Amino acid sequence: MTAYRNLTIRQKQIVWAWIFLAVPVLFYVVIRFYPTGNAVLISFQDWNLLGARTWTGLDNYEKLWNDPTFWKVFVNTFEYLIIGTPVSLVLSFVIAYHLDKLRFAHSFIRMLYFLPFMTSAVAMAWVWRWFYQGVPIGLFNNLLASVGIAQIEFLNSTTNALPAVLAPAIWAGLGFQIIIFMAGLRAIPVSYYEAARIDGVGWWTVLTEITIPLLRPTIVFIVVFSSIGFLRIFDHVFNMTTNNPGGPLNSTKPLVLMIYDTAFNAFDMGYAAAQTVVLFTILLIVSLLQLWILRSDR
């Protein structure tokens, strides 16, 4: 203790800081950094979890490049992104824009839109899966039948299954995006609208010249946040297709489901690790690309 007492205030601060950081720094090194390096390392090895690890260099990546399933999965993953992000962006903006102008029962209606965000993806995947069943089980087909429209194969069709799985994912995240958009709308200074009003500018000009440009940081956040979400889609797909995960014929399989299958059903750890490195690279490229496209100083 005397040693501590003799320290200067600045030195005492350094001691305290490292006492506070000791456990967390250990945590981040052992639970985040070491595994990251380890994943990259395993991706260069051949290992089935039981046998010996053998160094195989780029073999796993080469196998991935030549694997038709991977390219199917790659296309699927980007379909989730390319349909999901714009649809949820436009929907959430339109809803937030109008919700912001609502004067009566504002918080009640806002609550209706937000509720799905509080649900668990697994539970809701099963609800939607039930909706999609054929007559006489599924709700959607029952409704269609009652107005005399032919049944639609939602989850058993290679063309319909991916949008059918994507819909609940968009639905579940919409509430979050609406709330963020509404916060962004509220943050726009009133003086801009007052000036527009004095100038007698129409609502469309106000929207395109004031609201949307000033919402740019919010839009950037939502685009990056939701694309990362769609690129990592798993819970919805897995639970809506458990009888044939990623099916029919891999038409709904995203990259994360392929990783899960390769690692924990086929126990091909090296190959799965190579897929995770690819996922990491895609996420990084897509986020950086979006930040660059949507950068504010253009």
Partner 1 sequence: MTDATLTDVPDRVKPSSEALLAKPTGRGPRDNVQIIRWILLFLGGILMVMPIAYMISTSLKWPHEVYNVNLIPDEPTIENYTYVLEDGRFFNWFINSIIIATITTISNLFFDSLVGYTLCKFKFPGRTLVFIAILSTLMIPTEMLVIPWYLMSQQFGWLDSYWGIMFPGLMTAFGTFLMKQFFESVPDDFIEAARIDGLNEFQIWWEVAMPLVKPALAALAIFVFLGNWTAFLWPLIVTNSPDMYTLPVGLAGFGDEADVAWELIMTGAAISTIPTLVVFLIFQRFIIRGVVMAGLKG
73 phi/psi in degrees, rounded to 5: -65, -40
52 binds partner 1 (CB under 8 A): no
Q: Rounded to 5, what percent of the chain is helix, strand, coil? A: 70, 0, 25
Q: How far is the CB of 231 from partner 1 (least distance, A)?
A: 9
- The answer to whether residue 136 forms part of the interface with partner 1 (CB under 8 A) is yes
How far, in Å, are 116, 179, 295 from residue 182 at the CA level? 17, 5, 21
**Per CB under 8 A, 5 contacts partner 1:** no
The smaller minimum CB distance to partner 1, of residues 159 and 203, is found at: 203
* Interface with partner 1, residue 65, by CB under 8 A: no
By the rule CB under 8 A, 111 interacts with partner 1: yes
Cβ 103 to partner 1, closest distance in Å? 7
Please report whether residue 81 would count as binding partner 1 according to CB under 8 A: no
211 binds partner 1 per the rule CB under 8 A: yes
Asked whether 203 and 189 are in contact (CB, 8 A), the reply is no
Query: Taking CB under 8 A as the rule, does residue 131 contact partner 1?
Result: yes
Phi-psi region of 148 (alpha: psi -120 to 50; beta: other; left: phi over 0): left
Is the separation of the CB atoms in 154 and 163 below 8 Å? no
Question: Closer CB to partner 1, residue 203 or residue 292?
Answer: 203
Q: Which of residues 212-241 bind partner 1 (CB under 8 A)?
A: 221, 232, 234-235, 238-239
Q: Are 139 and 250 in contact (CB under 8 A)?
A: no
CB 98 within 8 A of CB 276: no
Contact 185, 96 (CB under 8 A): yes
Residue 62 Cβ, how far from partner 1 at the closest point, in Å? 19
Residue 193 makes contact with partner 1 by CB under 8 A: yes
Applying CB under 8 A, the site for partner 1 has a residue count of 104
Q: Which is nearer to partner 1, 119 or 156 (CB)?
A: 119
Selection from 213, 227, 220, 212 nearest residue 291 by Cα:
220
- Per-residue contact flags (x/-) with partner 1 for residues 148 to 177, judged by CB under 8 A: --------------------x--x--xxx-
Q: Which of 70, 62, 127 is closest to 261 using CA atoms?
A: 70
Residues 251-280 that bind partner 1 (CB under 8 A): 256, 259-260, 263-264, 269, 272-273, 276-277, 279-280
Stretch that binds partner 1, among 56-64, 67-75, 129-137, 147-155 (CB under 8 A): 129-137
**Cα separation of the two ends of the chain:** 58
